[in-house]
Amino acid sequence: DQQVKQNSPSLSVQEGRISILNCDYTNSMFDYFLWYKKYPAEGPTFLISISSIKDKNEDGRFTVFLNKSAKHLSLHIVPSQPGDSAVYFCAALPGRGYQKVTFGTGTKLQVIP
């Protein structure tokens, strides 16, 4: 039972344009979300998080949007750079104090120069 889903396994974007990565979840108990970036043969790197009390969080080129009613979040990267090419995982927790993170299946982003 995949509680966190990333329905697009891959995405190609031109350099300088916006990359939008989507994530849907089914567990209504989730209220803290994170995005990670992963290069091949490396561990994931934390990018940005958002709590359910917010609908938007921004950090530099990265913005995460949360739509609780739709159980949907998205990561916007603008402008996209070739170095952003990686696999992006969204992750969810039922509260900040909870330990186990549920990861999505990942979306491979390719930014074309």
Q: Smallest distance from the beta carbon of 99 to other proteins, in angstroms? A: 6
Q: Which is nearer to other proteins, 41 or 70 (CB)?
A: 41
Q: Which is nearer to other proteins, 44 or 75 (CB)?
A: 44
SS3 111: strand
Q: Smallest distance from the beta carbon of 28 to other proteins, in angstroms? A: 19
| Integer Cα distance of 19 and 15 in angstroms | 9
Binding site for other proteins (CB under 8 A): 32, 34, 36, 41-46, 49, 89, 93, 96-101, 103-106
Q: Where are the beta strands (DSSP E) in 1-113?
A: 4-5, 10-14, 19-25, 32-38, 45-51, 56-59, 62-67, 72-77, 86-93, 102-103, 107-112
Q: Which is nearer to other proteins, 15 or 101 (CB)?
A: 101
| Integer Cα distance of 8 and 111 in angstroms | 15
Q: Which is nearer to other proteins, 97 or 113 (CB)?
A: 97
Q: Smallest distance from the beta carbon of 52 to other proteins, in angstroms? A: 13
